[in-house]
Amino acid sequence: MGNEKLQQQYAWAKEEYAKYGVNVDDVLKRLADVKISMHCWQGDDVTGFMNPDQELTGGISVTGNYPGAAHTPEQLRQDLEKAFSLIPGKHKVNLHAMYVDTDGKVDLDEIEPAHYAKWVDWAKEQGLGLDFNPTFFSHPNSEDGFTLSHPDKKIRDFWIEHGKRARKVAAYFGEELGQTSVNNFWVPDGFKDNPIDRLAPRKRLMESLDTIFAEELDRKYTLDAVESKLFGLGAEAYTVGSHEFYMGYGITRNKLICMDAGHFHPTEVISNKLSSLSLFSEGILLHVSRPVRWDSDHVVIMDDELQEIGRELVRNDLLGKTHIGLDFFDATINRVAAWVIGTRNTLKSLLKAMLEPTEYLRKIELDGDYTTRLALTEELKDFPFTAVWDYYCETQNVPVREAWLKEVKDYEEKVLVKRSEEAIGIE
């Protein structure tokens, strides 16, 4: 699509939205300020570099064997760079603790900022921020399904030390990069079948978290978040860190509360929870994912719930207190493409919402004119959103529409296939 045609379509789109008082130029400036935290674990199927032969545990499952999974930090950063070159805007990378880049062996209770210095140097070169997550899974000390709520104090203390050190790493990220690093705590603790005592594990989890968070860190550099989950593989009957547990903990301890799109009952959606949570919480961490009948972490598509999440964040002016990250992993498709699809769709959902005449719609709702509200929200679905998105991609120097796919396919042929061949010893 030629630049002249893009300009013409954009000019037309501006006129259409201007009818309802929407300044599209201002909208694109606003969108450019949004940072999506793109998760590193899509690139290597949640393996990490601490102990890549360790079985994936914690109720997490990755299926597929598409060629090109990253096996080293250098390969993962190379893939991330390729993905970011196809996504408009400047964003962040979300690291898990197990993605250390250091010489020699290091365990989770030994991590230090120095073990992630190469990630920081790379982020500086790329103009990116870094978020963090302590890793409470895929480790011998989590094999029985419990970590911070474990009845064995020795194992609990191991994970408490890991949590403390993870906070120091996140603070280091924020200080070095000048962008606040969100540090998200999720633990997989739970029972496969019905427990006798639901209270004691939750009390132990609360006390462990209190110990981890006892030291006050500069909130300019790092913010702590806590994340609930309904259930996981091996923890179908009872999850220690339930929604109610973390809702109470986050509000009483002034922590961000993480809402993951896949961590609730299949009939629940998180879009309907955001406005309520915003009234009482310190802030919100959003994990954008796509559950299919359960927390299956499918690649984010432009479905109704994603668009509703975008509307809730924009209509209620919640972007200032919401940190948006992605959380999915699919090894049945090109992993770089998965990043690009999910991130571009998340940005599109926000752009669609920003192009709505929110104040006008709010006014007619207050006036009780529900007919106009329904009619206009339906008609707006057919407004020239794509012309605005195409223009935005062009001005951000990334491919317009599906043109990015050819670049991914070329990268697959030149890099990913050869990487897989080398990994299995094919000359």
Note if 327 is an active site residue.
yes
CB within 8 A of 247, min separation 6: which ones? 228, 257, 277
Catalytic residue among 96, 115, 150, 229: 229
Check: CB of residue 110 under 8 Å from CB of residue 151.
Answer: no
Beta strand 238-239 pairing with 190-191:
antiparallel
**Residue 116, φ and ψ in degrees, nearest 5:** -125, 15
Note if 216 is an active site residue.
no
Note if 229 is an active site residue.
yes
CA 180/CA 94 separation, integer angstroms: 12
Check: CB of residue 291 under 8 Å from CB of residue 326.
Answer: no
CA 85/CA 92 separation, integer angstroms: 13
CA 300/CA 39 separation, integer angstroms: 13
182 three-class SS: strand
The one-letter code for the residue type at 27 is: V
Catalytic residue among 115, 139, 255, 263: 263
Catalytic residue among 44, 45, 224, 297: 297
CA 197/CA 135 separation, integer angstroms: 26
Note if 287 is an active site residue.
yes
CA 51/CA 108 separation, integer angstroms: 10
Name the residue with tokens 């550099």: 221
Residues annotated within a binding site for Mn(2+) = 263, 295, 297
Residues annotated within a binding site = 263, 295, 297
**Residue 390, φ and ψ in degrees, nearest 5:** -60, -45
Catalytic residue among 101, 224, 227, 412: 227
Note if 263 is an active site residue.
yes
Note if 121 is an active site residue.
no
Note if 295 is an active site residue.
yes
Q: Which residues of 274-283 are buried (b: 16+ CB within 10 A; e: fewer)?
A: beebbeebbb
Catalytic residue among 45, 260, 356, 394: 260
Catalytic residue among 131, 176, 327, 356: 327
Known catalytic residues?
186, 227, 229, 260, 263, 287, 295, 297, 327
